[in-house]
Amino acid sequence: MAETIKIGIIICDRYKSCAGGKCFRALREREGAFERYKDKDVEIVGYTSCGGCPGGNIEYAVDEMKKNGATVIHFATGFIVGYPPCPYIEYFHDYIEKKYDIEVIYGTHPIPEKYMIMHKKLGTWKDPKWGKIIEPTVTDKKTRLSYD
Ligand code: SF4
């Protein structure tokens, strides 16, 4: 039996009414940041929002996810593509890894092409620090278009 990876997903509260369609599709298709699980079974053991700026739920949500077996936490792609992207994303990443000794991955589903176009116009991701943040969810243009 293939190894089952248990993951928790935290979404940006701006998208709190999101039903998770793109994230669950990407997980099923193993696209974007979920490509890393292409040879593995995956179970989502937690799904919640950050709690709204400045992310009050970040401090507590992972505790519950970890108790439920999570070994990886994903920040949903909304953290990256929102206008503006979450200004605390790196802090949250480091906080969770240090506090909970758990891997944190930037992103879930592929960045939709419409966001890619707009953020290029805005120069949002020009700073080299964004390279590693957007890398798991950039994908190819055809895939990005399919997530518009
Ligand atoms: S921008 Fe960041 S802190 Fe604010 S709601 Fe979104 S994820 Fe949470």
Q: Where are the domains of the chain?
A: 4-146
The structural architecture, per CATH, of the domain 4-146 is: 3-Layer(aba) Sandwich (3.40)
pLDDT at 139: 96
- Separation between Cα atoms, residue 24 and residue 130, nearest integer Å: 24
Strand partners, 46: 8
Is ligand 1 within 6 A of the CB of residue 54? yes
pLDDT at 3: 77
Q: What is the mean pLDDT of the chain?
A: 96
Nearest to 96 by CA among 70, 124, 129: 70
Task: Name the region of 47 (left: φ>0; alpha: ψ -120 to 50; beta: rest).
Answer: beta
Is ligand 1 within 6 A of the CB of residue 79? yes
For a substitution probing ligand 1, which of 49, 83, 88 has the most ligand atoms within 8 Å of its CB?
Answer: 88
> Which pLDDT tens digit goes with each residue over 117-143?
999 999 999 999 999 999 999 999 999
For the entire predicted model, the pTM comes to 0.96
3-state helix, strand, coil in the chain (%, to 5): 45, 15, 35
